[in-house]
Amino acid sequence: MAPAGIAGAWASSRPGRGDRFVDVSRFAERWKSHILETFSADSEGRPQWIQDLERGEDEGWFGPGSAVWAVHGGMPSLVAGIRALLMQTLHPGAMAGVHDWSRYREDPLGRLAGTVRWVVTTSFGDRDTAVDVSRRVRGYHRKVQGTFVDGRGVERPYSANDPDLLSWVHIVFTDAFLSTHLQWGPPIPGGPDRYVAEWAKAGELMGVDAPPRSHAELHAQIDAFHDQGLLRADERTRETISFLREPPLRASMLPAYRVLFAGAVASLEPRYRELLGLDRASFGPFPLPALASTRVMLGVAGRVMGEQSTSHEAALKRIARLADGPGASGSSPVDPRPGRGDDADDRERPAA
């Protein structure tokens, strides 16, 4: 439902208060604009790179009906981003790279927009564009090097393109988006295993050696990092958590963000909350219903934002153009589930 629909529902229940309805509608539009600007650096959610998703000569690595489109196009992704960042802070190598090289302190929203651009382009763009944006990110990573102290107190060198770090970033991202969607989203086409298998293609594009291809493999890889004693929280972790708890957002967005942050914390496994030094939201000794509150907030956000993102719309326009263009076969997007590749076509297929 569009923002006007919220105002309309309010109007039908409280007749005779037109000025209040206008105020609600205007607030919803401003809130929507602020959210879009935060994530895309454009108040209408249509920066040039979103518009460019209409270009390209294939459906992309995923497409309508894919698990990736369902998960990454859903409202729970607002919480997933927070959860993924919290988990990333537990790897001291990843944290050293962020602390030593990232511009998140000087330009946090610009840094966020850059990450969102990679996720959205890989999810909804054509294949060549997804490959290109991943190559550029890996090129930037080549200069990100240094040392860190692991959870056992051993000093180790790191590079952002190390297989170990690439794997950690990929699996906590995958786990965050999957877990939050399972908690607050509708059923995933093909279930959790299909999402993990599909998104393995993004890991491959970023140089991950052996991305998980099932829900069980995903958990096993995360557990391995924990059991090897590689994870720990230090001052850099606490500094980043403090930033994530109170980011430099507009005042109108902070109350909603705090609910989503509490939801992200509540969704974590207890052992990782303990490592991070975080507790579930409470009022004195009484726990607050963070999961239920997050569900309500995501419902409100969904009504304000509408059912379909601008990136989703742009991708559908590209696919429609391809279907209607000269020589179009009318075929549906490739099914990236394991074992479903087309042997007659030697193009690289999604994760199998």
pLDDT score, position 343: 32
Per-residue pLDDT tens for 151-208?
Answer: 777 777 777 788 899 999 999 999 999 999 999 999 999 999 999 999 999 999 999 9
Give the CA dihedral 197, 159, 130, 68, nearest 10 degrees.
Answer: 30
Per-residue pLDDT tens for 25-48?
Answer: 665 666 566 565 666 555 555 678
235 in any annotated domain: yes
104 in any annotated domain: yes
342 in any annotated domain: no
Positions of the chain with pLDDT under 70: 1-46, 100-111, 282-284, 286, 326-352
343 in any annotated domain: no
Q: What are phi and psi of 287, to 5 degrees?
A: -65, 145
pLDDT score, position 101: 60
21 in any annotated domain: no
Domain that holds residue 258: 3-10+26-316
Q: How many domains does the chain have?
A: 1
pLDDT score, position 15: 44
179 in any annotated domain: yes
Rounded to whole angstroms, the Cα distance separating 89 from 63 reads 32
pLDDT score, position 284: 67
| CA–CA distances in Å: residue 302 to residues 29, 185, 316 | 13, 11, 20
| CA–CA distances in Å: residue 25 to residues 11, 42, 226, 304, 333 | 10, 20, 47, 9, 38
Identify the residue whose tokens are 């199998």: 352
pLDDT score, position 20: 45
Q: Cβ contacts of residue 103 below 8 Å, gap of 6+?
A: 110, 111
| CA–CA distances in Å: residue 105 to residues 93, 110, 247 | 18, 10, 10
108 in any annotated domain: yes
pLDDT score, position 116: 86
